[in-house]
Structure 1
Amino acid sequence: MTPSLVRNAFSNLLGAVIPALVALGTVPLVVKGLGDANYGVYSLVTAIVGYFAVIDINVTAGSVKYIAEFNARQDQKRIDETVFFGLAVYSLLGLLGAIGLYGGAHFFVTRVFSVPPQLVGEAAATLKLAALGFFLGQLQSYLQSIPQSLMRYDIAGRIEMVFGTGVPLLTVAVLMLGHGLFEVILLRVVASAINCVVLWRCIRRLLPELAWRRPGAQIRRELLGFSAYSFLSRFAGLSYAYADKLIIGALVGVTGLAYFTVASTLANRILSLTFRLSGVLFPAASALAARGELERLRALYLKASRYVVFINASVLVLVAVFSYQILYYWMNPQFARAGQVVLAVMALSQFIDSLTSLPSLVNDGMGHPRVSGMFALVRAAFGLVVVWFGVDGWGIVGAAWGHLIASVLMTCIFLAAVHGRTVPARMKDLVRHAYLPSVFGVGLVAVLADAGNRLFDGGPLDLVLLVLLTVALLFAWGALFVIEKDDKILAWSRVKGLLSMRKAV
Structure 2
Amino acid sequence: MKINQLKAGAALSYISMALGYIISIIYTPIMLRLLGQSEYGLYNLVVSVVSYLGLLNFGFGSAYIRYYSRYKVRNERENIAKINGMFLIIFSILGFIAVLAGMALVFNTNLVFGSQLTTQELSVAKILMTIMVINIGFSFPNVVFNSYITANEQFVFQKLLQMIKVIANPFLVLPVLLLGYGSIGMVVITTVLNISIEIANAIFCFRKLNMEFSFRQFDFSLMKEMTIFSSFVFMNMIIDQINWNVDKFILGRFHGTVFVALYGLAAQLNTYYISLSTAISSLFIPRVNKIVASFDDNHELTLLFTRVGRVQFIVLSVIWTGLIFFGQPFINMWAGPNYSESYLITLFLILPVTIPLIQNIGIEIQRAKNTHQFRSWVYFFIAIANVIITIPLSKKYAGIGAAMGTALSLIIGNIFIMNWYYHKKVGLDMIYFWKQIISFVPSLILPILVGVLVHIYIDLYNIKLFLLYGFVYVLIFSVSMWFLGMNQYEKDLIRRPIIKLIKKLKIGEYKM
**Same fold flag (TM > 0.5):** yes
2:13/2:159 contact within 8 Å kept? yes
1:22 & 1:58 partners in 2: Cα distance?
32
1:271/1:316 contact within 8 Å kept? no
Q: Deviations over 1:415-465 (max 9, x none)?
A: 3332333433322211101x2122343255234313312211061121112
Higher mean Cα deviation, 319-328 or 445-454? Answer: 445-454
Higher mean Cα deviation, 243-252 or 268-277? Answer: 268-277
Residue in 2 aligned with 1:323? 327
1:422 & 1:431 partners in 2: Cα distance?
17
Residue in 2 aligned with 1:332? 336
Q: Deviations over 1:341-380 (max 9, x none)?
A: 1122222133244244132222222221213322332332
Decide which of 382, 387, 391 is 2:390's aligned counterpart. 387
Residue in 2 aligned with 1:94? 95
Shift of the 221–124 alpha-carbon distance from structure 1 to 2, 3 Å rule, reads same
Shift of the 219–359 alpha-carbon distance from structure 1 to 2, 3 Å rule, reads same
Residue in 2 aligned with 1:372? 375
Q: Deviations over 1:312-361 (max 9, x none)?
A: 122111223211122122111221x2222112222213324424413222
Residue in 1 aligned with 2:433? 430
Shift of the 154–490 alpha-carbon distance from structure 1 to 2, 3 Å rule, reads closer
Shift of the 372–70 alpha-carbon distance from structure 1 to 2, 3 Å rule, reads same
**TM-score normalised by length of structure 2:** 0.91
> 4+ residue runs of structure 1 moved beyond 6 angstroms?
none
Say whether residues 1:233 and 2:233 are aligned partners: no
Residue in 2 aligned with 1:85? 86
2:498 & 2:466 partners in 1: Cα distance?
32
What is the aligned residue count? 502
Q: SS at the partner of 2:402?
A: helix
1:136/1:189 contact within 8 Å kept? no
**How far did 1:200 drift?**
0.5
2:310 & 2:493 partners in 1: Cα distance?
17
Say whether residues 1:310 and 2:311 are aligned partners: no
**How far did 1:128 drift?**
2.1
Higher mean Cα deviation, 311-320 or 66-75? Answer: 66-75
Residue in 2 aligned with 1:178? 180
Residue in 2 aligned with 1:22? 23
Shift of the 323–117 alpha-carbon distance from structure 1 to 2, 3 Å rule, reads same
**How far did 1:90 drift?**
1.8
Residue in 2 aligned with 1:122? 124
2:38/2:261 contact within 8 Å kept? yes
**How far did 1:497 drift?**
4.4
Residue in 1 aligned with 2:246? 243
2:268 & 2:452 partners in 1: Cα distance?
23
Shift of the 496–96 alpha-carbon distance from structure 1 to 2, 3 Å rule, reads closer
Q: SS at the partner of 1:280?
A: helix
Say whether residues 1:266 and 2:286 are aligned partners: no
Higher mean Cα deviation, 92-101 or 240-249? Answer: 92-101
Residue in 2 aligned with 1:349? 352
RMSD of aligned Cα (Å):
2.4
2:71/2:77 contact within 8 Å kept? yes
Higher mean Cα deviation, 346-355 or 278-287? Answer: 346-355
Decide which of 145, 149, 152 is 1:150's aligned counterpart. 152
Identical residues among aligned pairs (%): 15
Shift of the 78–452 alpha-carbon distance from structure 1 to 2, 3 Å rule, reads same
1:221 & 1:207 partners in 2: Cα distance?
28
Q: SS at the partner of 1:322?
A: helix
List runs of 5+ in structure 2 lacking aligned partners: none
1:289/1:365 contact within 8 Å kept? yes
Residue in 1 aligned with 2:303? 299
1:297 & 1:319 partners in 2: Cα distance?
32
2:494 & 2:323 partners in 1: Cα distance?
28
Say whether residues 1:288 and 2:297 are aligned partners: no
Residue in 2 aligned with 1:187? 189
1:51/1:239 contact within 8 Å kept? no
Higher mean Cα deviation, 86-95 or 345-354? Answer: 345-354
List runs of 5+ in structure 1 lacking aligned partners: none
Shift of the 349–196 alpha-carbon distance from structure 1 to 2, 3 Å rule, reads same
1:366/1:422 contact within 8 Å kept? no
Q: Deviations over 1:46-72 (max 9, x none)?
A: 111112222221111111222234334
Residue in 2 aligned with 1:168? 170
2:251/2:398 contact within 8 Å kept? yes
Higher mean Cα deviation, 105-114 or 173-182? Answer: 105-114
1:99 & 1:45 partners in 2: Cα distance?
17
Residue in 2 aligned with 1:402? 405
Letter in 2 for 1:429: Y
